[in-house]
Chains A and B, each alone.
Chain A
């Protein structure tokens, strides 16, 4: 990041100090709640948590470009920060981790499979790239109803780009010039599969030309660069300019989930080397250096995030599980019948 300089001398892409602080808070909350999931798993309180450390800048930056109440988000299972950034609360996140009845899915879904109609956050499964055609369909509906000013933001990892349904989705979106942005969060690992075994050339955005849409590559550790790229793409989509493929390059610092042990397939040296780019402390340093935040404010922000996480944890943990009878609800629109 830049050396200490005057507050005005960095490219802020039109963001105010308050917005920069919101962006940073999203990153801090993302980091804190992810860690909380791991803690609860280690304490034996929840069976499972997944890990998105390294993605904070991508997701907070992208979320800042999302127009609440208008746009639609079709994420994947590592998008905790994006969900928070578009308005999901820590309490809703913890309800999901604890699988409580009050969770959006009624405790049915794996953690981090949030959905919220209110926020425009679509329900997804764990099947990779299955959500990408859904995002395209939603974009088609928006265009069909001529809803200018609305666009779909859909995300996925590097691994998902190998899926047939990913290909079919981009092709269709391009043919119909749909209002959609495809954001690849390239963290270089698909569980144990490194990028060079996932594809023969490492730049996902270079596939865009083959589909006849623009492609942009951006530093995923720089939240402002991501914001700018996603905003430009979303603006293009909202104004009828069609789809864009944006690739934000970052890194997955932890294992895939609490059920994975990444020591079995990559070295600690590699991970430590990439940790130097950790966007959470780096962006804090950047904001302090550029006078957006004082060191005290930075600390107080972190305390506030921690307090919020604790409050959400306690509140969610105290909520009841779903009942056995809830299993039979909402299979169809109404009334469930057993065969006999």
Chain B
């Protein structure tokens, strides 16, 4: 039964599924291509039974061949279809690296607009699920460097739907990152009907006055938990959910930093060269004299991956308690 404004409670996996379903129904140029997306309905059941309704021509189970999953999708896009390619786990995306950064990102540019690449590449990323070295990585830092490519990483179901719709509508290639731990863990209200959220716009998920925390993905939720705990201590922390990694919402970040005068960036990916590095550089360039404390980044240590054993996973990842510690220190700086 719909809530007053017309919405439903769903988790992130349901939000992806519902959005894909509507896209497939409304535009028959839309096809889904990836491993196990058809008969299995995707390993998280996102496209369960899609093949029964839309057929194997539109829900394509590919051989195991990541480079060509993206490459074939690029060709489909160049020829007028609207493909949504899936890489089963972000850890498997590396063979497709050239097709993403060397081909998809450059198609419009190199042909001066004559050929374009309206492509969505969806992939689950992130840890906290005992995924070890090959089912846990974050990849955004490898790709956000590339002009011509767009990257989004929503954390809440309503944002998932709005940004996925925007990605599908976008005439340029979009890498759509889904944090796998948030699939079932995170629930929220999702408005009915078709809507989009502009790519490149962050969202303040909690207003505050003493510290700006910028994050995305699973860690937005942990950061909010930490900020809420700090509120009980009388400390006021603002939490910005980036939602878009590239383009990134510079305005929102600067606006908040000029208000709170302190910046803490929290991300799951390794620290060196992570998203936090670019944000730090930008804020230092633009707003150095608006800061009352050095910019800090709370991120994964620079080791190749989190391990399968729990202590190794926990050491790699940042918990809400660790985030709260960092926040507290910064507020009191």
Contact = CB atoms under 8 A, between A and B. Distances in A.
B63 A108 contact: no
B133 A193 contact: no
A110 B132 contact: yes
A17 interface: no
Contacts of B61: 192-193, 197
Contacts of B130: 47-48
A29 B245 CA distance: 49
A159 B64 contact: yes
B102 interface: no
B132 A336 contact: no
A210 interface: no
Interface in A268-312: none
A265 B39 contact: yes
Contact of A322 (B65, B68, B311): B311
B282 interface: no
A327 B316 CA distance: 7
Contacts of B302: 331, 336, 338-339
A128 B64 contact: yes
A87 interface: no
Secondary structure call for the A interface: loop
B279 to A, nearest CB: 15
B95 A336 contact: no
Contacts of A336: 302-303
B241 interface: no
A200 to B, nearest CB: 10
Interface string A84-114: 0000000000000001110000111111000
Interface residues of B, number: 43
A127 B35 CA distance: 13
B39 A125 contact: no
B135 A126 contact: yes
B314 interface: yes
Interface string B162-185: 000000000000000000000000
Interface string B28-39: 000000011011
Contact of B312 (A111, A260, A324): A324
Nearest to B312: A327
Interface in B259-282: 271-272
Interface in A303-340: 321-328, 331, 336, 338-339
B1 interface: no
A163 B64 contact: yes
A192 B271 contact: no
B67 interface: yes
29 contacts: A47-B130, A99-B309, A99-B310, A107-B308, A107-B312, A108-B309, A110-B132, A110-B133, A110-B308, A126-B91, A128-B64, A159-B64, A162-B64, A163-B66, A164-B68, A164-B95, A165-B95, A192-B38, A193-B61, A198-B63, A198-B64, A265-B39, A265-B40, A322-B307, A325-B315, A327-B307, A327-B311, A327-B315, A336-B303
Given A110-B308, A264-B39, A323-B311, 16 more contacts: A48-B130, A106-B307, A107-B307, A125-B133, A129-B64, A162-B64, A163-B95, A164-B68, A192-B40, A193-B64, A264-B45, A265-B40, A326-B311, A327-B303, A327-B306, A339-B302
Interface of A: 47-48, 99-101, 106-111, 125-129, 159-160, 162-165, 190-194, 197-199, 259-260, 264-265, 321-328, 331, 336, 338-339
